[in-house]
Copies of this chain bind each other. A is one copy, B any other.
């Protein structure tokens, strides 16, 4: 059977992909996930119950357009980082949730988001120094 194909492939994967190479698929993947909205969506999901509706996400990610939100969610769903669940109520209810895979990436993303918040003032100071020529 081929039920372990993915596992087998993954066993070799660790040495196979290299994002430093332009043609490597992992370069494109890195490009997709190195994105403001991806970071924020992954951080938002798993916040409380681990499941959020479209409108909740829209509210939490202040300033995101429907287009960007939908587009990013689709991309994440396609890559298997989140699941989309439609409940046929009236009106319809859609919930997004992290998969195991998405959860594993969320750890890093939380780190990146926190880094930005924690070191904001350091960066601001550095910019001020750089701009005024202060060594």
Contacts and interface: CB of A to CB of B under 8 A. Distances in A.
A106 B131 CA distance: 24
Helix, strand, loop or mixed for chain A's interface? helix
A99 to B, nearest CB: 9
Given A29-B123, A80-B126, A127-B78, A117 B13 contact: yes
A86 interface: no
Contact of A104 (B14, B18, B77, B119): B119
Please list the 7 inter-chain residue pairs (A to B) with the smallest Cβ-Cβ separation, ordered nearest first.
A80-B126, A22-B63, A17-B117, A22-B62, A30-B116, A108-B111, A29-B116
Interface stretch (A31-39, A48-56, A88-96): A31-39
B101 A108 contact: no
